[in-house]
Amino acid sequence: MKTIVAKFGGTSLADAGQFKKIKDIINSDPSRRFIVASAPGKRFDDDIKVTDMLISCFKKADNGTDFEAELKRIEKRFHDIISELKISFPLNEEFDVIRNHLKNEPDLEYTASRGEYLNSKILASYLGFTFVDPIWCICFNEDGVLDPVMTYRAIGASLHPLKNAVIAGFYGADSTGRIHTFSRGGSDVTGSLAAHAIHADLYENWTDVSGLMAADPRIIKNPKSVDFLSYRELRTLSYMGASVLHTDSVLSASEAGIPINIRNTNSPEDKGTMIVRKLPKGETKYPVVGVAGRKGMSVIQVEKVMVSDGAGFSAAILDILKRRELPFEQCLTGIDTVTLVIKTDLLRDCRDDLLDEIKKELNPDFIALKENISMIAVVGEKATESSNANIKVLDAISRADIEISTINQGAGKLNLLIGVPDDKYTDAIKAIYSTIETSSSDL
Which spans of this chain sit near ligand ASP (rule: CB under 6 A)?
9-10, 38-39, 49, 51, 115, 169-170, 184-187
What does the alpha-carbon distance between residue 19 and residue 121 come to, in Å, rounded to a whole number?
A: 13
Residue closer to ligand ASP, measured from CB, 54 or 338: 54
Residue closer to ligand ASP, measured from CB, 170 or 425: 170
Residue closer to ligand ASP, measured from CB, 40 or 287: 40
Burial of 55 (0-12, 13-18, 19+ CB in 10 A): middle
What does the alpha-carbon distance between residue 236 and residue 196 come to, in Å, rounded to a whole number?
A: 21
What does the alpha-carbon distance between residue 216 and residue 290 come to, in Å, rounded to a whole number?
A: 9
Residue closer to ligand ASP, measured from CB, 38 or 405: 38
Q: How far is the CB of 253 from ligand ASP (least distance, A)?
A: 15
Q: How far is the CB of 283 from ligand ASP (least distance, A)?
A: 29
Within 174-253, strands assigned E span 179-181, 202-207, 228-230
Residue closer to ligand ASP, measured from CB, 234 or 383: 234
Q: How far is the CB of 34 from ligand ASP (least distance, A)?
A: 16
Q: How far is the CB of 78 from ligand ASP (least distance, A)?
A: 14
Residue closer to ligand ASP, measured from CB, 38 or 265: 38
Write a three-state SS string for 327-358: CCCEEEECCCEEEEEEEHHHHCCCHHHHHHHH
Q: Is-contact 298 371, C-beta < 8 A?
A: yes
Residue closer to ligand ASP, measured from CB, 38 or 273: 38
List the Cα angle 357/362/365 in 5-degree steps: 110
Q: How far is the CB of 192 from ligand ASP (least distance, A)?
A: 12
Q: What is residue 417's three-state secondary structure?
A: strand
Q: How far is the CB of 182 from ligand ASP (least distance, A)?
A: 7
Q: Which residues pair with 204 in a beta bridge?
A: 6, 261
What does the alpha-carbon distance between residue 17 and residue 308 come to, in Å, rounded to a whole number?
A: 64
Q: How far is the CB of 53 from ligand ASP (least distance, A)?
A: 10
